[in-house]
Every structure is written in C-alpha cells, then in structure tokens.
C-alpha cells in the first residue's frame, strides 16, 4: 500500500467516523468495517472472528492502552481518535503504528467518571498484545454475563473507555 493510499484510507475512516453513527471505523482500500459497539468490543470482535486487519486505517472514539494493544495485535497501519492516553501513544509508537489524536490525557476513566476504565485496569501490567487480548476478552465476557444477570444495571456493567479530565 502506498502512502497516498493509506492517507486516503485514514481520511475515509475519519469521514465515516465523523457521521456519529459509529464508534470504530476501519478502512483499507475497498474494505470498510464499522461498529457502533462501545469500548474495546469492536476490536475484540474483529480479532476473535479472525478478520485480517493488517494495514487498516482506524478511526476510534477513544484510544487508551487497552485499545492500543489490540491495534498492535491486529497490526493496523494507523489510528486516529479524538481522545487518547499517554500510555496508548507509547504502545502505538512501540508497535510502529502511526497515530493522530486531538486530545491526549493521562488516563482513561469510566463513562460515569467514578474511576479508571476497567479495561485499562486489565492491561495495566502488560505490554504484550497477545496477553492483553486474552485478558480483555475474558473481562468483556464477564461484563456481558454480569449485565445479562442484572439487566437493570446494564449501563454500569458495560465496558467503557471514555475520558474526562480531572
């Protein structure tokens, strides 16, 4: 893939993302993958399904260390997000993945702002993409099971990686 093609792919991903319909958009040539799922769920799903994401350009809502490790595992080519953490930048740089972010923050918090994102906590002590994928997949499955067992409290049981500045 040429540099012009990858720039074009990122522009397409960002344009689709900007519609507000999707939380995650991946583009490579004629291939376009989208998801409106929250948190790391889109990437966990694509990786679990065996989708070859090597070289894809990604636009995602929020990129923390958890998402960055999944992007590294999938070997995407470049990433854009309106919001990212310092830890995510380090992971992407170490993986050789080009990145663009509008705002960079110290940490990713739960959507209600009551503490750190649970997915970020899952990967706090690893820099290995394969280990992160295993940990995040298990955590997501547990959160989904808890949400099904207690449907009145679903919103607090679903994974989230939104940020607010303290």
Domain region containing 48:
3-148
Mean pLDDT by groups of 10 residues along the chain of 166 residues: 79 97 97 96 97 98 98 98 98 98 95 91 97 97 90 49 34
Question: Is residue 108 domain-resident?
Answer: yes
- pLDDT at position 164 is 29
- pLDDT at position 60 is 98
- pLDDT at position 71 is 98
Query: Sign (positive/negative) of CA torsion 59, 157, 92, 70?
Result: negative
Question: Is residue 35 domain-resident?
Answer: yes
What CATH number has the domain bearing residue 80?
Answer: 3.40.140.30
Question: Is residue 86 domain-resident?
Answer: yes
- pLDDT at position 127 is 97
Q: How far is CA 39 from CA 9, 10, 32, 59, 152, in A?
A: 22, 20, 19, 13, 20
What global pTM score does this model have?
A: 0.88
What does the alpha-carbon distance between residue 166 and residue 160 come to, in Å, rounded to a whole number? Answer: 17
**Nearest one of 142, 20, 131, 143 to 66, comparing CA atoms:** 131
Cβ-proximal residues to 121 (8 Å cutoff; 6+ apart), any chain: none
Answer for the pair 117, 66: CB distance below 8 angstroms, yes or no: yes
Question: Is residue 163 domain-resident?
Answer: no
Question: Is residue 159 domain-resident?
Answer: no
Question: Is residue 44 domain-resident?
Answer: yes
Q: How many domains are there within the chain?
A: 1
What does the alpha-carbon distance between residue 117 and residue 112 come to, in Å, rounded to a whole number? Answer: 10
- pLDDT at position 153 is 56
Question: Is residue 165 domain-resident?
Answer: no
User: 83 forms bridges with which residues in the sheet?
Assistant: 62, 103
CA dihedral 9, 15, 16, 21 (to 10 degrees): 150
Question: Is residue 153 domain-resident?
Answer: no
């Amino acid at each position: 893939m040429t540099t012009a093609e990858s720039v074009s792919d990122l522009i397409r991903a960002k344009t689709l993302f900007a519609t507000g319909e999707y939380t995650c958009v991946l583009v490579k040539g004629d291939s376009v993958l989208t998801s409106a799922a929250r948190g790391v769920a889109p990437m966990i799903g694509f990786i679990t399904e065996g989708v070859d994401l090597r070289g894809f350009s990604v636009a995602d809502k929020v990129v923390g260390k958890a998402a960055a490790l999944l992007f590294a595992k999938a070997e995407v080519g470049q990433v854009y997000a309106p919001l990212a953490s310092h830890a995510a930048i380090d992971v992407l740089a170490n993986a050789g993945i080009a990145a663009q972010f509008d705002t960079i923050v110290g940490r990713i918090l739960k959507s209600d702002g009551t503490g750190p994102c649970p997915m970020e906590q899952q990967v706090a002590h690893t820099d290995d993409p394969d280990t992160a994928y295993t940990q995040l997949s298990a955590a997501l499955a547990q959160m989904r099971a808890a949400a099904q067992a207690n449907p009145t409290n679903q919103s607090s049981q679903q994974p989230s990686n939104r940020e607010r500045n303290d």
